[in-house]
Structure 1
């Protein structure tokens, strides 16, 4: 069934957001069909996965493509559900689905199957696609994916967490020099943590710093060794600033009148890019540079030798053009599975799915009395609920001499009465929504604190891997089976050290007083963190890594990876910041920033293939609907393409021209019969009070014609290169290049003499004798140049420049 052209209506809603953001696969494929439109173009970058990192790389590719040379297709297995992070919305109940079922059993496919829920979307979007003896929350099958639910903690990897023996030097250098900063700014973690503040926060921060300085906290990374990655909050020291939680949340912006986006999610990037693509193309699918197709599950990539040629989906095959590139941007485990299903036989196939890592995670929930806060300043504001978020970095030297890293995410709430309003506020303030129930225990006399430890696992554990399972999924493809273990003594030792560090912090924050432990089991299962990494690790050597430093498979020349599956080691930071940084680096590699166009000496470029900011379309008013649209212009492939309307239009350059000049440009028609023209020396289109302001150029300037047919009568004065409809010109016309090939115009305007060259050959010269037309530009009465849009005709222009005479 074809995708409906308009938004659909369900029992309760009109699907405006889905229709405005997404396309059906039928619409996307139709837009590449050259038998329908000769200007149709293939999608040369196809991104598999619309969760977290797929939208991030899509948006960056779209932004980098200033010349509009590329078309990007995003394929997502789930639907569009919500437009931003769940914590930026009212409490809908769309929370994470945990790694345990309601009956207490681990969430595995077999246990889900036992209660007939293995094919049911839990909490609307959550599903589990792989087998394991571990419990996993699974994946959020929707646009935006798990970025709609994540906690927002975004510390940076330290140098020691990117060892030179495993991380490519070029990648590390780029991350440190550029991409960590860019990613921090994009997700909002570079800003001061200004949405969490107040007396509770300041008191806990000061008490924690006192304990660290007093050597009461074991296995700490000295604060002096940590980089300062955000601004110092008002009233804080640099040391205190390094204890601030690195949260991807913005509650303020520097520009007046602009609203912050609050907690980051990738769906916002995708919405912005998808709507920009629609608007700049004038809602013409054939001209959209980016399309998003939901509910399109990718089953396998087909290849010939070392080149992906086709993508098999639940909706049918998608051909990858010869110059096309495919980016696998699914969750780590599903990215590995797709590679295992698609790339059998490549030389390093045995490395795919090895070196899989997760995080060691513990939660220590405590409740301390108000009196334990030694630096608390009493204030009437303390009657309101307050929250705090702090961060401590730790490290531990293992028995073999290697150093492992961990960190503590410290979240606190208290000092206020808990009611319905404060619960809603707390839901937005608590970084990790799976901790929300714990913090409901806060009241006016006690503070509830969660100390969440996140520790790195050692890499290259042969017992931690992703492989193919014998069972087939609903699409006939083998499922994955996942094994992740912390049986390595080095992992156990670091986990013990991390838990001791948390206990030390608890004692410091309790001020040496007894505290209540809230909750039971401290250590989380290895499948609970959503932080699976590695398995498609990058490296400098094809014998020891799956992908090269650019994230491309060593032995598949057009297949890339975006996301934590690339990590050679995991470090302790949550993978979001590093993953976003690597997607930006990949986008810059695939679509580098354009090189500035150079022109002949003395000429000024007025359209460079990147921007038409100084150009405007003529206007129509007071005309009936069938002649009310002058058309539009869009940048496509570095060219300025005229999109026709239903009446004459003029796309004109808004800067006045000199009195005498040479105008040079290139033009292309898509069909032999296409019609356009270049207007010179006309007054401001709004100066005459015309209903259709394009006619100002016709009546008061001159048109250099583009029309191989010479409509309406085939006369020379109506053909390409002629000054339109002027009988006194000297014509030496020649044919233009065939449709689909570029032509050069050189138009010399000096005094009242107009000379035109087509592809280097003079085709006309004309002397104007009308005192009311073609007046040279003056400061008091400037004149302009413009390009015609003609109903039914498509034209493209590029390299538009002029020289004053």
Structure 2
């Protein structure tokens, strides 16, 4: 029978919602109530537009969108409007393991990350399972959060706090909530673990088998010490950190089962629904494939979108085949609005490389370096119950443990690698199989609504054997300093020039209308990575030997038949096929690191808020942010960072409170008049009275023509001081500055040794335009930088203020100059600090008008 294609019904369905679509089998209700079409998104723009576009609705994009909506509720009318664009279709509404048996739904949406084989190089031994492959990822609403395994340990804190760790201390403090009273914790690992059900006191695994194995593992873990300098060792075994909430978080509520970020996004969309789309703040549009970020003068202005015709594209056998699109569209964000890349480390980096490569005037390209994944193996033993001293009549079910460890010191990293074991045990066998337990995860991650089947499982449990499985997972090491492309043996990614290996989008007649360079990915298992793999494998076998009190040789013993093993005196036999022991390095779904965070804008790609150092209104929010990989599943770390990104983005739509009373020790410099002030060159300065607020000092005019002028406080000069003021802008192209210890601006201000040559200037310019090189994105020329001398290490300015009469968003500057040192705080964050270099030790305070409008108020100073 031919199936009907999805088609509009034309009918109304409750509350005036129309076009709930129908096929031969289904009514598309959930997707219709969660998603919008492209046309609906554009119609909803109204006069307010959109402030944030999130590219991708997977594990991190969905979480970020939900938290932005949630955190924004306290902002009232100032809350940002958010559009989530997903390249794939809507498939299911929660984790697949919460749906009992469904068939292979993943096969409908799994697609390659990098396209044809020519676009990847995987360098590893040929005997690894799926060697040379890079696994497909789920391109659908919810992404991998619908299919992921759920094992969610933290990264090891002492590893992140090493003296040579690339992780910013501020980020580590955030992850572990250092110094935050327990009753106040609502961020970092503690909150995320509670939120996803992965807290240490698990409610998902329990029983005698679990208790016995955990006790034994703790008792012998310290005895596992390999003979490579006694460096490889195990840490204390822990309960399994699995993202499943089995019991209700509160009386009267359901448990959340296997975690997926999508449920948060769907809930936020429905809470946001207000009938009229023009009043809504959160939209989700599937089949909207973002091909690039549109840019202007170093500012992200929106995204370019291929609107996939899902019916015409179908579910092709060749997932690299061109996609049929209805059209190619540009989606603009409000001036100074934000674009967030949250698709996946590889895809986010591809879009970034195709959109805003680092200007040569700023430095060599960093995006695509530091690519990491994990080295992973799988080992299974059968253990006789007598080795556990557990009665054969007891039903045991499943058990799991988390066992962290360290490898030998590896070079050139000169530190110990990190690994962990996902330790599983099960006495279950498939009913009527007669094979004995071979799968240590049998019936561990699934929902069984049939109690008759559950009884069958209990009755089929083997009374003499238990299957023990250890999945080893170890750290790979990224390379952040070497240029790419490179033939050297390390991992990296890049995009080729257009036309070499493009992803193609075609119209209904097969004509190419948008070629987009694909990602080229090279993943190499280095000798250091291999050392971690070897050590974690050896440690796994030794742990089995210690736990069941057998010689190490017995842990590798194989028997041709089950009967032969049962008749032997051995307690343990190894049953994993040698061809399945070690996973290929491209098969873990854990690619990360390519847009890593850091406080050095010349040595990292993004800042501590996830903002690109060289693009002030573009963010990353996925595994690409990780400076190092550790051994842990990236999800809890990624969710915690997404929560931090959401906090930072939300704060941009707040305003610093009015300073109505001058702080003790400070003197007001601007009383609403120009008394004590003089100007030089362009005199585009005027006071703007504001009812109930301090008088505003307006600098500049509303256009992008540079008209440089200086307004300086001529009544006094200052040497060591702290200057505080508030400022706001109305355009992302606004340019201004605050002069410190400046000479008097007389004559030609641009001559060598003149005003601009000697004055210190704290810059206000989101673009970071360097007039010397003509490049945007210069850290020494962006907001908060000491112009041309010391870089801004982060972006933390508020959003661009609207010109429609709404209050807008004021920023706080606190600038301290003492001797040769300067510290610049923007909105209570240190943005710039260091040596001021050769400059006057005493001079005037001044303000600049340059391009567009910068407004100031509450200008006050304290001598030190």
**Contiguous gaps of at least 5 residues in structure 2:** 1-6, 11-17, 122-131, 178-186, 308-328, 449-456, 483-489, 506-514, 551-570, 661-803, 808-864
Structure 2 residue aligned with 1:289: 281
Q: Equivalent residue of 1:390, what SS? A: strand
Task: Map 1:38-187 onto structure 2 (within 5 A).
Answer: 41-65=48-72, 66-68=74-76, 69-94=79-104, 122-130=107-115, 131-133=119-121, 134-162=132-160, 163-165=162-164, 166-177=166-177, 178-187=187-196
Q: Is the 8 A contact 1:442 1:448 kept in 2?
A: no
Moved more, 132-141 or 212-221: 212-221
Q: Does 1:448 align with 2:467?
A: yes
Q: Is the 8 A contact 2:82 2:283 kept in 1?
A: yes
Q: Equivalent residue of 2:24, what SS? A: coil
Structure 1 residue aligned with 2:19: 6
Q: Deviations over 1:575-629 (max 9, x none)?
A: 000000000001111113979999x9xxxxxxxxxxxxxxxxxxxxxxxxxxxxx
Structure 2 residue aligned with 1:704: none
Moved more, 518-527 or 354-363: 518-527
Q: Deviations over 1:4-61 (max 9, x none)?
A: 7331001100000000110111111111133xxxxxx211011000111000111111
Q: Does 1:518 align with 2:576?
A: yes
Q: Equivalent residue of 1:507, what SS? A: helix
**CA 1:214–1:425: 2 relative to 1, 3 Å:** closer
1:483 to 502, 522, 544: 522
Q: Is the 8 A contact 2:372 2:591 kept in 1?
A: yes
- Deviation for aligned residue 1:380: 4.5
- Deviation for aligned residue 1:506: 2.4
In 2, the alpha carbon distance for the partners of 1:170 and 1:82 equals 37
Structure 2 residue aligned with 1:188: 197
In 1, the alpha carbon distance for the partners of 2:375 and 2:461 equals 27
**CA 1:148–1:492: 2 relative to 1, 3 Å:** same
In 1, the alpha carbon distance for the partners of 2:27 and 2:603 equals 52
- Deviation for aligned residue 1:3: 11
Task: State TM-score, norm by structure 2.
Answer: 0.59
In 2, the alpha carbon distance for the partners of 1:431 and 1:311 equals 39
Q: Equivalent residue of 2:288, what SS? A: coil
Q: Is the 8 A contact 2:302 2:331 kept in 1?
A: yes
Q: Does 1:18 align with 2:31?
A: yes
| Larger-gyration structure (1/2) | 1
Q: Is the 8 A contact 1:152 1:431 kept in 2?
A: no
**CA 1:394–1:132: 2 relative to 1, 3 Å:** same
Task: Map 1:21-40 onto structure 2 (within 5 A).
Answer: 21-34=34-47
Q: Does 1:471 align with 2:472?
A: no
In 1, the alpha carbon distance for the partners of 2:214 and 2:93 equals 34
In 1, the alpha carbon distance for the partners of 2:589 and 2:332 equals 32
**CA 1:150–1:139: 2 relative to 1, 3 Å:** same
- Deviation for aligned residue 1:477: 0.2
In 2, the alpha carbon distance for the partners of 1:284 and 1:594 equals 26
- Deviation for aligned residue 1:371: 2.1
- Deviation for aligned residue 1:516: 2.9
Q: Does 1:249 align with 2:244?
A: yes
- Deviation for aligned residue 1:543: 1.3
In 1, the alpha carbon distance for the partners of 2:373 and 2:338 equals 29
Q: Is the 8 A contact 1:139 1:331 kept in 2?
A: no
Structure 2 residue aligned with 1:308: 300
**CA 1:192–1:338: 2 relative to 1, 3 Å:** same
Q: Equivalent residue of 1:161, what SS? A: helix
In 2, the alpha carbon distance for the partners of 1:321 and 1:188 equals 37
In 1, the alpha carbon distance for the partners of 2:338 and 2:391 equals 59
- Deviation for aligned residue 1:550: 1.1
**CA 1:191–1:428: 2 relative to 1, 3 Å:** farther
In 2, the alpha carbon distance for the partners of 1:741 and 1:252 equals 50
In 2, the alpha carbon distance for the partners of 1:289 and 1:742 equals 18
- Deviation for aligned residue 1:258: 0.8
Q: Is the 8 A contact 2:346 2:591 kept in 1?
A: yes
- Deviation for aligned residue 1:203: 2.3
Q: Equivalent residue of 2:501, what SS? A: strand
Q: Is the 8 A contact 2:358 2:614 kept in 1?
A: no
Q: Is the 8 A contact 1:415 1:445 kept in 2?
A: no
Counting matched residue pairs gives 542
- Deviation for aligned residue 1:457: 1.0
**CA 1:431–1:157: 2 relative to 1, 3 Å:** farther
- Deviation for aligned residue 1:370: 2.2
Q: Does 1:506 align with 2:544?
A: yes
**CA 1:496–1:452: 2 relative to 1, 3 Å:** same
